[in-house]
Structure 1
Amino acid sequence: MIGHLGQRAVRVLVANWDRSYTVPSRRLYPHQWSWDSAFVAIGSARWSPRRARSELLSLFGSQWRDGRVPHIAFNPEIQDGSYFPGPEFWDVRAPSGSATSGIVQPPVHALAAWRVHLADPDSGFLRRIYPRLVAQQHFLRTARGSEQGLIHIVHPWESGMDNSPAWDTPLASVEPGPAGASRRDLGHVSADERPTDQDYARYIALARAYRDTGYRRAGAFCVEDPLFNAAYGVAEVTLAKIAKACGLDPEPHHQAAAAITAAMVEHLYDDGLFHARDARSGILLRSHSAAGLVPLMLPDLPRDLANALIGSALDRFGIKQGTLPSYAPGAPEFDPARYWRGPSWINLTWLVWQGLRHRRPDLADVLADGMIAAVSRSGFREYFDPFTLHGHGCADFSWSAALVLDVIAEHGLNGVPAAGGQIRQETGGIGEPGEIGDHVLA
């Protein structure tokens, strides 16, 4: 039995379903977001594998010819101006005709595809999505790769952790343009919980500058992010498994994963944490961001470094309390309520949970219990105060619901996993919102 919490999570996903994919939030995020859909697919695979496959295939339907997977695929039925920056700002379309943004997000999609396959093996799905995943990695390696073997991002939005204090130094050199009047987020969420107007103006200036190069050249922000690079490495590890399942050679993926891990160890690690690096100057952007713990997911990370990261997770981030702050509470920049400057997020915690499960299962269990406690206390919020578990940002947030379903399936409620790791075996079609009732969870 997975209880009422799992039923509530499914209701959130059903309510946010939009024919072939899931919006992160009906009110604030009415389109399809890239890494959101990957996380949603991971959780949806636990109760509706067909819907999970649709989630990923819908997203990759907006893939560009160069292989990039844009961070937003816009719904043409949503009124212009309801989200900024919208399709009129980015002014670009994928070969499919979909209006998209021109930047990317962390490549967690191969991991999602593999988890969907494990939940409901489908060789046809793997063969269909594998070349798209390979193209995504090829774009990052060729368009964003450095001589050091790392991948750079050109905008804080590409990190997924928009206003992390890790970006304060490189953002300081960006001349902000007018943006406050265009913001739509403050109509839904308190300004105290969002990036400042000045930060937002800098985001828009960077996006505009990148757009004006034809989405080819980085502007003032060119950073090698540990979370993004770890996701790239995990994608290669996962693509090796997918290649093998498809009867293809996995060795190139093994080699790529080993190479990115070695590059990260050499260039991004220092003093118990991985840090971002300015790709132009080579200067390490030392911070206290929990993104520096995500390399725990890399299977070939040297044991001594993994142990050092675990020590930092305990000492700097206090994960024994059950939550993972997005920024270390002892740092002067920490803010428990403002977006990525301190609150706990289910997706970031889930990534670190994955890295701990085979290294320190006792600590992984603590984080699993903490994720369940947060949503039990405050609902499926966008993010949470890491001390009080008070919810912030949007309500009924899709990846919070989806990833908690995955946690329940693996860890269970009170540490007892769902039978067989599955919450429900799908028996019908994808269906439309409203067609799935309380009976779907056993």
Structure 2
Amino acid sequence: MQGGMSTSSKRKNADDQGVLSDEEIRAQVRDVLYRNMISGQRAGFTYHFTKPSPGTYPFQYFWDTCFHVFTLTALGEVEMAKEHVQSLFEMQRPDGFIGHMNYWKRLWPGRITDFLQLMPRDVLHFYKPHMSALVQPPIVAQAVLRIYQHNQDLAFVKQLLPKLKRYYRWLAQNRDFEGEGLLSIITPFESGMDWKASYDPLLKFTKGKAGPQLFWKVLQVDAHNFLKGYSLPRLYKSNRFIVKDTAFNTIYAQNLKAMAELCQLTGEEEETHYLVLAKQTERSILNHMYDEEDAAFYDLHGHHFKKLRVRTGTIFFPVVLKSVPDEVCRIVLERHLLQKDGFHVPFPIPSLAVDEPAFNPNGSLYIWRGPTWVVFNWFMQGYLLEKGYQKEARELLLSVKRLITKSGFREYYNPFTGEGHGAEDFTWSGLVVDMINRENEDEGRGMRTSQ
């Protein structure tokens, strides 16, 4: 292309007035990641991970670690990303299970841990690294595939693949209770979206705006699980909190496809196995979660897959799946994301539709009930670019840039004002660098096509 700056570049420069440059954002993301990074050895384990936030979230979390892989590889820190994944699998059980939190050096936050460090060693001998009993969205196969895409290190894939197989086998055997390819979570904390408003009907919380009553209702679910010894057959039979979360299962389907690709790379015979599983999951998402009248994908609960009809920011997540018909994708996007039915805010994408009774855009203990999280924009941007919605994808990225310029790297943001709330120096917002790379790659493809 000749003749100076393209129309796209001119528009980008005009839109980006007043926001940090891509170079400034990359430098700040790198700084946040390195300040939150921790490594060491304990009880025969070697760990290396990034804390999502230095004070609020000081542990190694499952899907946070995977987000860090996407961010690190986008920054060119591929070897660091590999160490993060290896640390995540350090305490994997023989049956394949990996908890949603790895406790390496500390069990309690800040001040309590500082006090304990002053106590004699023989008092602390009981403490050993361990995992939680819960799971989180299974995005790790995509994280491993992303590392391979950046460095073509087939040896790394071969090292991780047996562990990945055990992990996804455990999920299929222990969380697909009905054998239809949909995984169930047993507490709100397993979705990664702790106080998600779609769970309110199941919790019998009808007040809309969250408060202490909701806290106790969620706590009762966890107490129930504890008293049942986290026995999954017993928990399923009791049917207290058996939820098939839309985002969780969309990610599961994506990662089954990633597992098939990893098997193909290494010549493993299970490629077809994972493709069959992925097809089943995608078919069940469409058959059970999609509501044609509302043009939305809803979370499900109970043995009979009852829809939880609350418009959270995940109602359009399954459109990223290849097997969802184009017409369904178009209707869902136009109804909710493009025309912004309930999602029309200056800083998208809100975690809950603004006209839902539970909507609260401000900072609160009860998160995921209105504020904007960068991860939603990151998740949808790639699909929009792929399907030709360049303008809409650009708006999602520009919104994230403006949020970071205005309020820094925060856990979540007010979707109307852009004010930052929750944890500070929060690493998830660093996914913006992956979004920047995607847009640059998409523009590069467009320029090559036009030449």
Q: Given residue 104 of structure 1, which amino acid in structure 2 is its aligned partner?
A: V
Find the partner of 1:98 among 117, 129, 133.
129
SS in 2 for 1:18: strand
Find the partner of 1:197 among 184, 201, 212.
212
Percent identity, please. 27
Q: Give per-residue Cα distances to partners, 1:55-81, cap 9 Å, x unaligned.
A: 111111122333222111012246578
Aligned to 1:269: 290
Aligned to 1:225: 245
Give how far 1:416 is off: 6.9
Contact 2:97 2:170 (8 Å CA) reproduced? yes
Alignment of structure 1 residues 32-431 onto 2, 5 Å: 32-47=60-75, 48-77=77-106, 98-145=129-176, 146-172=178-204, 196-217=211-232, 218=235, 220-249=240-269, 250-270=271-291, 271-311=294-334, 312-314=336-338, 315-318=340-343, 321=346, 323-337=348-362, 338=364, 339-359=367-387, 360-401=389-430, 403-411=431-439
Aligned to 1:436: none
Change in 2 beyond 3 A, CA 1:327/1:200: same
Higher strand share: 2
Cα distance in 1 for residues equivalent to 2:305 and 2:262: 34
SS in 2 for 1:236: helix
Cα distance in 2 for residues equivalent to 1:278 and 1:380: 34
SS in 2 for 1:382: strand
TM-score, normalization by structure 2: 0.80
Cα distance in 2 for residues equivalent to 1:82 and 1:267: 46
Q: Given residue 196 of structure 1, which amino acid in structure 2 is its aligned partner?
A: G
Give how far 1:172 is off: 2.2
Flag the structure with more relative contact order, 1 or 2, with Cα contacts below 8 A and sequence separation at least 6: 1
Cα distance in 2 for residues equivalent to 1:296 and 1:65: 35
Cα distance in 1 for residues equivalent to 2:347 and 2:218: 32
Contact 1:42 1:112 (8 Å CA) reproduced? yes
Give how far 1:293 is off: 1.5
Q: Give per-residue Cα distances to partners, 1:321-343, cap 9 Å, x unaligned.
A: 55100111122221112420011
Contact 2:55 2:110 (8 Å CA) reproduced? no
Give how far 1:201 is off: 2.9
Contact 2:58 2:109 (8 Å CA) reproduced? no
Give how far 1:173 is off: 7.8
Q: Given residue 232 of structure 1, which amino acid in structure 2 is its aligned partner?
A: Y
Contact 2:188 2:199 (8 Å CA) reproduced? yes
Change in 2 beyond 3 A, CA 1:142/1:278: same
Cα distance in 2 for residues equivalent to 1:280 and 1:233: 21
Matched, 1:22 2:43: no
Cα distance in 1 for residues equivalent to 2:200 and 2:189: 13
SS in 2 for 1:357: helix
Contact 1:277 1:285 (8 Å CA) reproduced? yes
Unaligned 5+ residue runs, structure 1? 85-96, 175-193, 418-442
Cα distance in 1 for residues equivalent to 2:132 and 2:107: 15
Contact 2:56 2:109 (8 Å CA) reproduced? no
Q: Give per-residue Cα distances to partners, 1:273-319, cap 9 Å, x unaligned.
A: 11011132432111111112211221221112111221121232546
SS in 1 for 2:92: coil
Cα distance in 2 for residues equivalent to 1:214 and 1:58: 27
Q: Give per-residue Cα distances to partners, 1:217-258, cap 9 Å, x unaligned.
A: 225111111111101100011111111111123211111111
Unaligned 5+ residue runs, structure 2? 1-20, 40-47, 114-127, 445-451
Q: How many residues align?
A: 385
Contact 2:347 2:418 (8 Å CA) reproduced? no
TM-score, normalization by structure 1: 0.81
Change in 2 beyond 3 A, CA 1:391/1:81: closer
Change in 2 beyond 3 A, CA 1:332/1:320: closer
Contact 1:110 1:238 (8 Å CA) reproduced? yes
Give how far 1:131 is off: 2.0
Q: Given residue 358 of structure 1, which amino acid in structure 2 is its aligned partner?
A: E
Contact 1:320 1:363 (8 Å CA) reproduced? no
Give how far 1:356 is off: 2.1
Q: Given residue 307 of structure 2, which amino acid in structure 1 is its aligned partner?
A: L
Change in 2 beyond 3 A, CA 1:318/1:171: closer
Contact 2:193 2:368 (8 Å CA) reproduced? yes
Change in 2 beyond 3 A, CA 1:129/1:304: same
Q: Given residue 201 of structure 1, which amino acid in structure 2 is its aligned partner?
A: W
